[in-house]
């Protein structure tokens, strides 16, 4: 069989050998690439008068792989999937007779071939006929298949003519027609494979984006996507260089396993400049240690890159710019050993798309890292603010206590003038307000401490509400606001929470006090304790409902900020520090709960303190 021969012990004795695959190896399944070519091979056996026909395609530039065999099952089993070198075919073509598109090498010329270029393979069982045109088992008849640009893309081989004779002119014309059909079919097959490869690589790129877009750090991105890139492009390794976000000249280099890559300083600068140039031109660069330097890379830089690649055992790299919009963000480098095939045009095109996708991922990662950094800074600032408030409040507490004590001593004196008495009364009122603010600040700093642990105990929330109701009742009477008795909606056993009873009482007291303060005379404030299930979890809810001035949608967004006062002039006319609701929100959060607000300006408000129910 053409290009797959075994030496015969005797000229009239045929043998079958297959040195390219072990004898006990399973027969390969015909390649899907051979489906279209199989029809051509079968036509050669049915119409052109040959017992066996085989079609091969060029693989990896320098090899021919058999993808279709017709006419003989043993031949198909022996030959399908086997490969031979293009060099061996070229050697045979040098001694072949040219029959138009066909090439014929009679067996008597085989001695002229270099033994290193011959390949053992399948030989038909055939006893040659008599005569000079008799077909010999080692005769070679084939048709090199060429693309329109003259590039070798495959080979059509024929064996076992049914009449036992070498084909004459008429038979050759039929075979040439089949050779043209085979060339067309081979080109279509290779184009289909190329398209399929491009689709596969594009799918890999999309998968990379899907996997990486949910990750937040560059090391995580590489860990999740590196293996897919290396496998998808047949690379030996990979690293990525990402430029500093603040453009201070620094950059981060990470390998596919997340470890840091150490490059000479000169190569870092060369890579940065090359990446920006490649991104501006939307191109990928391939540097091969066995080829001449790229014209656009200075000789010294090219020599430095090649020397570095040699030092790490890399034969070639595909250098891919990473960017988004007009901005180049870094570069991706895929490596191959010197023995690996060259990078294909399809791979180059697909990997440039991945450079765009990774650019968007890098931007997302930068945004997350920036956001994460800002969150940490804000958390640190919040802790600092809490500690500052606590420190200042403690420092104010002692002198305030002293002022209050001396005021009490002065107010018991009988000989004070009336003006002095009035002044002392004003000082007392101001001191009381200031003491209230200091107490609120101390409580706010305590319940807002993120490291604070609530000393939890089982608390009957209905009892807590009753105590808060008693505390606020006098103020409600003074303002002529009806404070309805607390009402339970549900079994008492289901109205139990775990937490600090004093803090919970303070939270309910603040809510009731606010409701009374912002309600007009003659209106009513109601409080209801109920149980509910939210997202499968049991909660206990305290609803405080008033008929007061209400809250605008704009104010509701900032209602629980420290020191926030409503923009409503009517609300501003009522005294307050802006700390009451902030304290409630922090107590609720410390107990694993939250606050809900429903309000409409001029129509009252409903504040709901929602807490996890205690485990039965």
* pLDDT interval class at 438 (50, 70, 90): confident
Q: What percent of the chain has pLDDT over 70?
A: 80
Site of tokens 């002229």: 112
Residue of higher predicted confidence among 158 and 341 = 158
Residue of higher predicted confidence among 354 and 465 = 465
Tell whether the model's pLDDT for residue 14 goes beyond 50: no
Interval 113-138: pLDDT, tens:
655 544 445 666 777 788 889 998 88
pLDDT at residue 247, as a whole number: 53
Q: How do the domains of the chain map onto residue ranges?
A: 32-195, 197-370, 372-447, 457-612
- Report the 3 state secondary structure along 142-164: EEEEECCCCCEEEEEEEEEECCC
Chosen CATH of 457-612 out of 2.170.150.20, 3.30.565.10, 3.40.50.2300, 2.30.30.170: 3.30.565.10
Distances (CA, A) of 192 to 31, 39, 155, 197, 225: 13, 17, 18, 9, 27
* pLDDT interval class at 560 (50, 70, 90): confident
Give the mean model confidence (pLDDT) for residues 39-55: 91
Most confident listed range (437-446, 540-549, 575-584): 540-549
Chosen CATH of 32-195 out of 3.40.50.150, 3.30.70.600, 3.40.30.10, 3.30.450.40: 3.30.450.40
Residue of higher predicted confidence among 14 and 221 = 221
pLDDT at residue 237, as a whole number: 86
Give the mean model confidence (pLDDT) for residues 273-300: 82
Looking at domain 197-370, its CATH class is: alpha beta
Are the CB atoms for 30 and 80 separated by under 8 Å? yes
Tell whether the model's pLDDT for residue 28 goes beyond 50: no
pLDDT at residue 608, as a whole number: 93
Tell whether the model's pLDDT for residue 479 goes beyond 70: yes
Site of tokens 């002095």: 420
* pLDDT interval class at 207 (50, 70, 90): confident
Point out the least confidently predicted range of 17-21, 209-213, 473-477.
17-21
Q: Give the angle subtended at the CA of 176 by the CAs of 170 and 177, to the nearest 5°.
A: 100
β-strands 524-534, 482-483: how paired? parallel
Distances (CA, A) of 29 to 35, 120, 190: 12, 21, 19
CATH T-level fold of 372-447: Helix Hairpins (1.10.287)
Task: Pick left, alpha or beta for residue 3 (phi over 0 → left; psi -120 to 50 → alpha; otherwise beta).
Answer: left
* pLDDT interval class at 249 (50, 70, 90): very low
Give the mean model confidence (pLDDT) for residues 414-424: 78
Distances (CA, A) of 49 to 75, 167, 182, 447: 17, 9, 16, 96
Are the CB atoms for 238 and 386 separated by under 8 Å? no
Mean per-residue pLDDT over the chain, rounded: 80
pTM of the model: 0.46
Tell whether the model's pLDDT for residue 5 goes beyond 60: no
Tell whether the model's pLDDT for residue 392 goes beyond 70: no
pLDDT at residue 147, as a whole number: 92
Are the CB atoms for 483 and 520 separated by under 8 Å? no
* pLDDT interval class at 250 (50, 70, 90): low
Give the mean model confidence (pLDDT) for residues 155-183: 92
* pLDDT interval class at 68 (50, 70, 90): very high
Interval 505-533: pLDDT, tens:
999 999 999 899 888 999 999 999 999 98
Do the domains at 372-447 and 457-612 have one common CATH topology? no
């Amino acid at each position: 069989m053409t290009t797959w021969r075994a030496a015969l012990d005797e000229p009239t004795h045929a043998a079958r050998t297959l040195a390219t695959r072990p004898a006990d190896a399973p027969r390969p399944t015909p390649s899907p690439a051979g489906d279209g070519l199989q029809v051509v091979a079968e036509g050669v056996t049915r119409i052109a008068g040959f017992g066996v026909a085989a079609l091969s395609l060029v693989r990896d530039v320098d090899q021919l792989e058999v993808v279709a065999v017709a006419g003989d099952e043993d031949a198909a089993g022996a030959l399908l999937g086997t490969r031979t070198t293009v060099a061996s075919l070229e050697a045979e073509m040098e001694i072949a007779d040219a029959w138009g598109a066909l090439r014929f090498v009679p067996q008597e010329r085989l001695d002229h071939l270099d033994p290193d270029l011959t390949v053992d393979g399948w030989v038909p069982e055939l006893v040659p006929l008599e005569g000079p045109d008799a077909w010999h088992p080692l005769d070679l008849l084939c048709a090199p298949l060429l693309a329109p640009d003259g590039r070798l893309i495959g080979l059509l081989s024929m064996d076992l003519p049914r009449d036992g004779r070498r084909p004459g002119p008429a038979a050759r014309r039929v075979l040439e027609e089949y050779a043209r059909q085979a060339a067309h079919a081979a080109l279509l097959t290779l184009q289909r494979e190329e398209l399929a490869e491009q689709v596969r690589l594009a799918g890999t790129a999309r998968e990379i984006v899907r996997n990486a877009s949910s990750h937040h750090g560059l090391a995580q991105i590489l860990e999740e996507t590196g293996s897919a890139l290396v496998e998808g492009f047949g690379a030996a390794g990979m690293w990525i260089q990402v430029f500093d976000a603040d453009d201070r000249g620094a950059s981060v280099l990470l390998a596919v396993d997340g470890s840091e890559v150490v490059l000479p300083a000169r190569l870092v600068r060369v890579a940065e400049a090359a990446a920006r140039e490649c991104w501006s031109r939307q191109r990928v660069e391939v540097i091969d240690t066995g080829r001449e330097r790229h014209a656009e890379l200075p000789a010294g830089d090219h020599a430095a890159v090649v020397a570095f690649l040699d030092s790490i055992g890399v034969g070639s790299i595909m250098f891919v710019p990473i960017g988004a919009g007009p901005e180049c963000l870094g570069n991706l480098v895929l490596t191959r050993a010197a023995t690996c095939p060259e990078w294909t045009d399809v791979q180059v095109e697909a990997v440039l798309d991945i450079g765009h996708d990774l650019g968007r991922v890098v931007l997302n990662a930068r945004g997350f890292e920036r956001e994460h950094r800002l969150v940490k800074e804000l958390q640190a600032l919040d802790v600092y603010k809490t500690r500052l408030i606590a420190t200042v409040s403690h420092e104010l507490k002692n002198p305030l206590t002293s002022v209050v004590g001396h005021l009490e001593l002065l107010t018991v004196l009988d000989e004070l003038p009336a003006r002095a008495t009035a002044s002392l009364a004003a000082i007392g009122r101001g001191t009381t307000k200031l003491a209230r603010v200091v107490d609120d600040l101390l409580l706010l700093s305590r319940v807002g401490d993120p490291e604070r642990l609530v000393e939890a105990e089982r608390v009957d929330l209905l009892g807590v509400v009753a105590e808060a109701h008693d505390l606020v009742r006098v103020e409600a009477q003074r303002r002529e606001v009806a404070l309805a008795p607390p009402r339970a909606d549900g079994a008492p056993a289901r109205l139990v929470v775990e937490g600090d009873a004093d803090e919970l009482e303070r939270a309910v007291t603040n809510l009731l006090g606010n409701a009374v303060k912002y309600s007009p005379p003659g209106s009513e404030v109601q409080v209801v304790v109920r149980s509910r299930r939210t997202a499968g979890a049991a909660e206990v809810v305290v609803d405080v409902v008033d008929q007061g001035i209400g809250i605008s949608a704009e104010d509701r967004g900032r209602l629980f900020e420290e020191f926030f006062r409503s923009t409503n002039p009517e609300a501003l006319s009522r005294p307050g520090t802006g700390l009451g609701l902030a304290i409630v929100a922090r107590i609720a959060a410390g107990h694993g709960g939250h606050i809900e607000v429903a309000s409409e300006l001029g129509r009252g408000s409903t504040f709901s303190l929602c807490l996890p129910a205690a485990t039965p």
